[in-house]
Amino acid sequence: MDIELTKEDLEFEAEVKAFLEENAYKDGDAEKWRMGWFEKAREKGGWDVPKWPVKFGGPGWTPNQHYVWQRATASASTPWDLPFGLSMLAPVLMAYGSEEQQERFLPDIRARKVNWCQGYSEPGAGSDLASLKTKAELSEDGTYYTVNGQKIWTTMAHIADWIFCLTRTSSDGIKQEGITFLLFPMKQDGVEIKPIITLGGSHTVNSVFFTDVKVPVENRVGEEGKGWTYAKGLLEHERSGIAGISNSIVALEGLKEKARGVKRGNGSLMDVPSFKSKIAALEVDLMAVEYTELRSLATASAGAAPGPESSILKLKGTEIQQRIQKLTMEAGGQFSAAWAGFNSGPDFARGGTGGYMNSRYYTIYGGASEVQKDIITKKVLGIKSSK
């Protein structure tokens, strides 16, 4: 994969940096700035939805332009953006949704007017997602489904307006069959949300309970019983995003700078061979994953959907994120044990332990590492099971 930037790429890079600098948050109403930022990005020709196809308003960038954008935005002042509607549901609607669903949902997703969450994992169906049991029963007149069951680890369900949800409409055949993809509002009778506080002390995930929730049949995406096909496509988009390669590059550079400020003898922590070797090994692995991401972008620019390489990105990308968190805690030493407002030693050390604990789930959500290894074994290496 050639990542040499052409003259046109360098001009684009300068344009991106100028846009990000001009529209960086300075002061005032943060939400007003956020919405204004996306509007200005849209006026640039689809910069607000960089990964969307031109047909749906995206910019149609080359792999190198995507590379430039990701590197620039990883370290710039950009507004927060939830991925569930924009990067996960939208591609499913573009590929499998009806024209009416595309016209109904995509504009509000693009305008960031509606927050979505993902109803996939269940207490007995996490990594083995196809074992899900949340039931959706079609009414006798065929106009609506009644949904009963529970989802767990539902990220940002407490602020979501809608959910895209995998439900079981049939138990016949293999477990991947009989799964149906439904969309419905979260703020209605029969939907109960209970928070789950993570090891790091944050509230990002939840348990969600459905009791006789009515879902109009027009909110079904694609065919009944074909939801597993749509879910797999969504997961490939999700896994590519979870990898966070550009963010890791920026985070690693930040870690090196922090380590240079930690005194060790007559030098700094970066002069300690054992620590420096860990940083070097991490840089090499990160570079290898970056090349894999660029190959994935090249495939996407040719019009193909994400493939099994998204599992490589998810597997290695999340492991790298964990290693950065672990080394950050190591750099903070005993001061990393401090929590909340307590502050001793380097400023960055205060959240070291919390960040490390939260990073434990990076290799679980979006498909556990064991699942990714299985996909890589079968789809990339072509190794078949002996069973």
Residues 253 and 215 grouped into a single domain? no
Residues 53 and 145 in one domain: no
Q: Is 182 in the same domain as 251?
A: no
373 shares a domain with 268? yes
Residues 150 and 214 reside in one and the same domain: yes
Whether residue 220 is found in the same domain as residue 319 = no
Q: Which residues contact 84 (CB under 8 A, 6 or more apart)?
A: 115, 116, 117, 118, 155, 156, 160, 164
Question: Which CATH number characterizes residue 264's domain?
Answer: 1.20.140.10
In this prediction the pTM is 0.82
88 within some domain: no
* Residues 218 and 251 reside in one and the same domain: no
Based on the domain organization, do 296 and 351 belong to the same domain?
Answer: yes
Q: Do residues 223 and 279 both lie within one domain?
A: no
How far apart (Å, rounded) are the C-alpha atoms in residues 62 and 297?
8
276 part of a folded domain: yes
Average pLDDT, consecutive stretches of 10 residues, N- to C-terminus, the chain (387 residues): 75 96 93 96 96 93 86 90 92 95 98 96 86 97 98 96 97 93 97 91 93 98 94 67 82 94 93 96 92 73 65 89 94 82 75 83 81 83 73
Q: Are residues 269 and 368 in the same domain?
A: yes
Domain assignment present for 334 = yes
Give which of 326, 337, 366 is closest to 205, Cα–Cα: 366
Q: Which of 173, 201, 227 is the C-terminal boundary of a domain?
A: 227
Q: How far apart are CA 14 and CA 20, in angstroms?
A: 10
Residue in this structure with the two tokens 């360098």, named with its chain if needed: 10
pLDDT number for residue 247: 87
Query: Which range marks the domain in which residue 189 is found?
Result: 115-227
Please give the Cα distance from 257 to 346 (Å, whole number): 12
- What's the pLDDT score for residue 127? 73
219 and 250 inside one domain: no
In a domain, 87, yes or no: no
CA distance 194 to 382: 42
Determine, yes or no, domain membership for 13: yes
Which residue type sits at 71? R
CATH code, domain carrying 126: 2.40.110.10
Tell me: do 141 and 192 sit in the same domain: yes
Q: Which of 199, 227, 255 is the last residue of a domain?
A: 227
Identify whether 103 is part of a domain.
Answer: no
Our count of domains for the chain comes to: 3
Three-point CA angle 246, 251, 252, nearest 5° = 100
Asked if residue 54 belongs to a domain, the reply is yes
Instruction: Give a yes or no: residue 254 inside a domain.
Output: yes
The string of DSSP codes covering 60-103 is: ---HHHHHHHHHHHHTS------HIIIIIIHHHHHHHS-HHHHH
167 φψ region: left (φ > 0), alpha (ψ -120 to 50), beta (else): beta
| pLDDT for the residue 1 | 46
* pLDDT at 348 (0 to 100): 86
